[in-house]
Structure 1
Amino acid sequence: MKDNKKEKLKAFKKADKKLKKGNGKKSKKKSKKALGIGLGLGAAVILAGYAGVGVYYQDKFYPGTMINGIDCGGKDTEYVRELLKNSAETYSLTIKERGEQTETIDGTTIQLSYQDDNGAQQVKAEQNSWLWPVQIFGDKNYTVNADSSYNEESLNQAVAALSCMQDANMTPVQDARVEDNGTSYEIIPEVEGTTLDKEKTLAAIKSAVDQRQTEVSLEETDCYVKPAVYQDDENLKKEAEQLNKFTSLQASLNFGTGTETVTRDQLKSWLKKGGDGNYYFDTETVKQTVIAWSEKYNTIGQPRDFVTSNGNTVHLTQGDYGWRLWQDKTTESLVNMLNAGQSGAVEPTWLYSGQKHGGNDIDGTYVEISISEQRMWFYKNGTLLVDTPVVTGNPNAGNGTPSGGVWRLKDKASPSTLVGRNPDGSIEYETPVNYWMPFNGGVGIHDLTTRSSFGGDIYLYNGSHGCINTPLENARTIYENIEVNTPVVVY
């Protein structure tokens, strides 16, 4: 009984398994069929959508299509043609200028009229509706030109009449420059101004009209005349730097009786700009100042007072003793220092010099000759070395010794031969001497061994040709102790 039941159960399970297997095969076949049907329907929908869009835009412009600044998306060519016509009839161009100023030129002023050149149709032809999946997302800005749709002469006149085109209304452009503010040099920024390049301006406005733009910026179209030099120019910066360096230098010169300190204004006036763009101190310009200083501090030829050995004061106005500045050398020293960019004290160079600065320039060493007393003194460093009678030039024979001044000793020689000549050049006399010390041309101090007496009034009847005849021993003492440039006072 039990075995019978087991057999039935086994047969039931087997039948059930077979039934499930058969149902599975049928289910798979049904799924594949459904997928095929779905894909087909999807492709049909896409194809229908593609065709529908393509058909729709066969006579219409894609969305976002801009023609001459007008949104023509979804419009047909006829509609766009009408829009262009209306745009032309109401067209005006706003001209944006510097300073937020604007002016306008309207279509009537330039006799603007719409002329259909099939531009809209040509744009539409470029938009192939069957390529919409590619073209609909591309750039869709178009310009339809109408070059002959206005009167060019009217446009020229309209542009010429603009306020911004009048010379009187234009602010001149100015280059950036270096300028002195009184204490230093600074860069003054450029001035952009409002001066227009009239040819560029006309061309920019004409281009805007040709493209039916509603506004044009003269700034953006580069119509304004630009400065040639801007404040960030490297050469300009270099110039300001160099000028500030040179005009801040310090220089001084001690002339003994006074010191000259070079001022900033003087430094400025001495500067010149070279061909290479660099500044330098000009020698000739500086020399003019040095000449003025020499006239102030030179003492040669200047009147001076002198206290004689007898205690009297004489006023002397003649002679060539004293200080004379060597202008070229002093200028050279000053210019070289300044051009090297250095500050400091410059030592003046003297062509001739006195013993001291100030007073009568005499400081203890000198020869003193009194014509009236026929006497000569020689002092060295304040000590009297010689006090001697002398014989000076004979005034009655026209050979008086020049007096009333201070001369510097020009030379000294031992021995020497003095030669006198007549007006025709022939020799008048030849006199050998042991000691010769000239101080004023052919006039000098010398011994004369042929003369036996000195002093008194000998000079009035047996005087010299102008020289100071001196006893031999005294002439020797002076010669051995005197130096060239020593002052010789004659009164």
Structure 2
Amino acid sequence: MKTIIKWSSGILIGIVIVAAAVYMALAVYYHDRFVFGTWAQGHYITGLSVSKAAELLNSEYEPCDITVTDLEGQEYIVKASDVNIKADYTKSLQAAFDNQNVISWIYHLVNGKELTMAADITYDKEKLQSIVSSWSMFDLKEEDRTIEIVNIVDEGYQLIDTTGDVPVYDEILKQVEIALRSGSSNLDLGLLDSCYKELELTDEMKSVRKTFEKISKIQDIGIVYKFGDDEIELSGSFMSSAIVTEDMAPDLKSQKPKKNQPGSGNFIVGGKETSFPKEYYIENGFAVDNAGNIIVSESALYEGVQELCGQYSTVGGSRSFYTSRGKTITIDGGTYGNKIDSNNEFEYLISSIIKGIKETHEPTYEQVAASKGSDDIGNTYVEISIEDQHLYYYKDGILMLSCDIVTGNVARGRDTPTGVFYVYGKARNRYLRGRGYVSFVKFWMPVYKGVGMHDASWRDEFGGDIYQNEGSHGCINLPTDKAEELYGYVEIGTPVVIY
């Protein structure tokens, strides 16, 4: 029995000695390698030396390109391949290796260990500097930055200021390098105050800004014209042409008032209507009086009012018209439409500027169509097609009357005039007189001079090509019953579209 116990004890001691020997042997083995269960940057580096582990991690490193965004939203790309970005994990791996306890390798076998590595990033600094310095944000040098007042089409005078937010090259380069080393893929310079600086303004720059402040007050008069559904703000583009510049001043100084030229010889200076100042000087390209007030030409304002009113005075102008046959045509001429009283509007504008009135204004009309704005015919009108020899009458967009007609005799040069006209009168039982004829009609609806719509009891047929050789003296002939019906429909002012 004692022999068995001694034998068992010997075996146990032997096992312990062997296990200890194996354990220590592995500890010795890992004295220059990473122990069991060691991971770094997602790679299993157990059993690798520092140099071998570094070789593995360095080869697997994938540098990213950097997108740099400036204050204006412009993007610039730094490609990793262009600056030869490389990573070296040797120092981090060595530090981790120096801190590992090889005696406790069995602990790592059970629990494992993930190392967080920081690589030493290297890149070609000269290439990076070349790339950054080529960016367009650095194109405008400090000495070339200015403040200018520029007249822009459809906008009026605008201040072009390139003095603010000057990019600082050294600081931007520094931030790009930091992004490279940290592995960032995006860099927004607008979030970094140190990347930009404000340029110190010269006295001349400050003077230009003050001049523009005066101009802005004149341009932003706050009057909105309402033409039907259209609203037009009299802003910079309208007022800029009336602001007297250095080039305009010599001629305008000698301008005298003329009865047939509203606004001539008159100016608005400092909120008052006056003649051109006897003494004036030029301030940054603009004429001002001794008090520094911008000079505004009333004659130029009158031209602007004439042009604006002309755009919405539709009498005799071109119109797009959708016919009953389903075609869109352009019609020119005629007497129908809106006609704005431009002289009255000029007086209103001058008064409003002087008094500082800011409002939405509807102009005064000398003649008013069915609706205001560019599309003024409306949904109630007479439509006459000379080619088809046909007349249509619409009431609120609904066809109420349709019939054949006879228009002016083409062969004798008595063509019915084309354009957009209107019924300017109504009469019953009238004698129509002209050279060599007298005709009695029951229903007379004149639309242009002596031309009108009326019954023609002397005709048995209408439509077709009768008008080519047997047409009227220019009027629109209708069957008597249709003329009576039309007479009951139309009112004075009803549009008549003839094409």
- Bigger radius of gyration among the two: 1
- Fold match (TM-score > 0.5): no
- Category of TM-score, reference length = shorter chain: 0.3 to 0.5
- Normalised by the length of structure 2, the TM-score is 0.44
Greater percentage in strand: 2
- Normalised by the length of structure 1, the TM-score is 0.44
